[in-house]
Chain A
């Protein structure tokens, strides 16, 4: 464990329960290491990979490329695994990728009703709400009510299609390109692609957000 003592002071509720869990995890890690089942360096590298290296900025690069390159977009929609791998994103929980395209008439949303399947190589680890019972249960029966909670309302003519990730195929939404972005570079476009827009609980940001200091930084790919 790296910095236990710095994390012992943060909890404002249920203090003893959290400390119990931290101790339990530390004991387990100690035993697994002593038994030679794990390499402690592998733990640190895994955490660094999914905390700092892999995240929604990968997916945003894929989307921005599809927005500027029609040939790439065609490839992405027919063989997403290969098209995404060509940008150097591949691997665990993204071995078999499918990309679904939003249009003025169809809005796509992705869920895993049975657990928490999520395309790690392009989006990183899922947010808590994606893994939670309220989202997993309701999005398949009443997706518009879910979108309301994310402050998204779609035009009346748009219908919603939900993709339930029940096997090892992982889905990524290709959001619609915002209006008035013809002058933007691929790199600037990528800044408009939020994590939620690639799950389907959000839309790509409008061009105003590029220079808006108030934009929630968590919604920008990091």
Chain B
């Protein structure tokens, strides 16, 4: 979906203002939101890409103004209601009204360390061979999907060179639909700054972006 989360190349947001003394969390509730989101993600009731799509689908004014962990909180509440795991009334009252549903997994305290250290690798075995090789010149497809995608707008239609072949990875666009992982070859594509932005700015030379095979087409093989 073309949304405000896809902000690469915009210059309207002003100064970055990095704060060298910034705490990791600004309030206790931010800690809780991080942990609640990770724990509920671990139940397997939605996947990583469905979580991301929910966050980036918030109303654009909210996405740009409510702050990072409020985006997480709002998306978590939305996912819980969508899956009928918790009702809005229960959230408002802070108590159980309806019966619990059975979730696929519950992350136990004793398993946190091993679960976090194992992570969730997304590379998958495949019998398909990669269509592109290092050095191939490719053009990014002009895709405008209504659902989730990890194809940023600023590279659409542009030429780049295959820099690296990462392997066959879970395809985010399809995984977000809940219809399966549909693994696809993933490439790192190198773009000249001038190709992307016209007149390139001071010292800007290249931008590298990871692209699944369906995002690109062959322009010139090596």
On A, residues with C-beta under 8 Å from B are 1-4, 7, 10-11, 18, 21-22, 24-32, 34-47, 49-51, 90-96, 98, 106, 111, 113-116, 121, 124-125, 127-129, 131-138, 140-146, 149-150, 154, 156, 158-169, 201, 216, 218-219
**Contacting pair B13 A46 (CB below 8 A):** no
Q: Are B28 and A7 in contact (CB under 8 A)?
A: yes
- Give the residues in chain B near A111, CB-CB below 8 Å: 8
Q: Taking CB as reference atom, which chain A residue is nearest B98?
A: A35
A5–B188 Cα gap in the complex (Å)? 48
In the complex, the answer to whether A43 meets B32 with C-beta atoms within 8 Å is yes
Contact with A along B95-121 (1 / 0, CB 8 A): 110001101001111111101111111
In Å, the complex CA distance between A92 and B7 comes to: 25
**Which single member of B11, B90, B103, B206 contacts A138 (CB below 8 Å)?**
B11
**Which of A35, A106, A114, A149 interacts with B150 by CB under 8 Å?**
A114
Q: Are A36 and B90 in contact (CB under 8 A)?
A: no
CB-nearest residue of chain A relative to B208? A163
Of the candidates A39, A125, A149, the one whose C-beta lies within 8 Å of that of B109 is: A39
Q: Do A39 and B172 touch (CB < 8 A)?
A: no
B205 lies within 8 A of A218 (CB): no
Task: Give 13 pairs: A residue, B residue, CB < 8 Å, sorted on A.
Answer: A25-B73, A28-B73, A32-B40, A42-B109, A49-B113, A96-B121, A134-B14, A137-B11, A141-B196, A143-B201, A149-B16, A149-B17, A166-B211
- Chain B: interface secondary structure? mixed
The answer to whether residues A46 and B38 also contact, given A37-B100, A51-B25, A144-B204 and a CB cut-off of 8 A, is yes
> Which residues of the other chain, B, contact A25 by a CB distance below 8 angstroms?
29, 32-33, 36, 73
Chain B residues close to A by CB (< 8 Å): 5-22, 24-25, 27-29, 31-36, 38-40, 43, 52, 55-56, 64, 68, 70, 73, 76-77, 80, 85-86, 90-96, 100-101, 103, 106-113, 115-123, 150-152, 154, 164, 166-167, 169-170, 172, 186, 188, 196-197, 201-212
Closest A residue, CB atoms, query B72: A116
Does A125 lie within 8 Å of B28, measured CB to CB? no
Q: For B73, B150, B152, which residue has the most chain A Cβ atoms within 10 angstroms?
A: B150
Which residues on B sit within 8 Å (CB–CB) of A131?
68
Min CB distance A34 to B, Å, is 5
Whether B18 contacts A30 by the Cβ 8 Å rule is no
Distance (whole angstroms) from the CB of A55 to the closest CB of chain B: 8
A85 → B minimal CB distance (Å) = 10
Most central of B9, B29, B106, B209 by chain A CB within 10 Å? B29
Q: How far is the CA of A96 from the CA of B115 in the complex (A)?
A: 16
Known contacts being A137-B11, A150-B18, is A124 close to B207, with CB within 8 Å? no
State the CA gap A54–B116 with chains docked (Å).
11
Q: Which of B9, B117, B152, B197 contacts A91 (CB 8 A)?
A: B117
Q: Contacts A25-B32, A113-B7, A159-B203 given; indicate if A37 touches B40 (C-beta within 8 A).
A: yes
* Chain A residues within an 8 Å CB radius of B76: 28
Chain B residue at minimal CB-CB distance from A28 = B91
Quick one: given A114-B150, A127-B18, A127-B22, are A27 and B206 in contact (CB under 8 Å)?
no
Residues of A within 8 A of B93 (CB): 27
Other-chain residue from B5, B39, B169 in contact with A114 (beta carbon distance below 8 A): B5
Contacting pair A141 B201 (CB below 8 A): yes
Given contacts A164-B152, A167-B186, 15 further A-B contacts (CB under 8 A): A2-B28, A7-B27, A21-B73, A27-B94, A46-B35, A47-B32, A95-B119, A95-B120, A95-B121, A133-B7, A133-B10, A140-B154, A141-B197, A142-B11, A146-B16
Bound state CA distance, A39 and B105, in angstroms?
Answer: 11
Closest A-chain residue to B42, C-beta based?
A42
Q: How far is the CA of A47 from the CA of B90 in the complex (A)?
A: 25
Contacts of A134 in B (CB 8 A): 13-17
Report the minimum CB–CB distance from B109 to chain A (whole Å). 3
Inter-subunit contact B96/A35 (CB<8 Å): yes
State whether B186 touches A49 (Cβ < 8 A). Answer: no
Q: Is the CB of A167 within 8 A of B118?
A: no
With A46-B39, A166-B209, A218-B20 known to touch, is A31 a contact of B94 (CB < 8 Å)?
Answer: yes
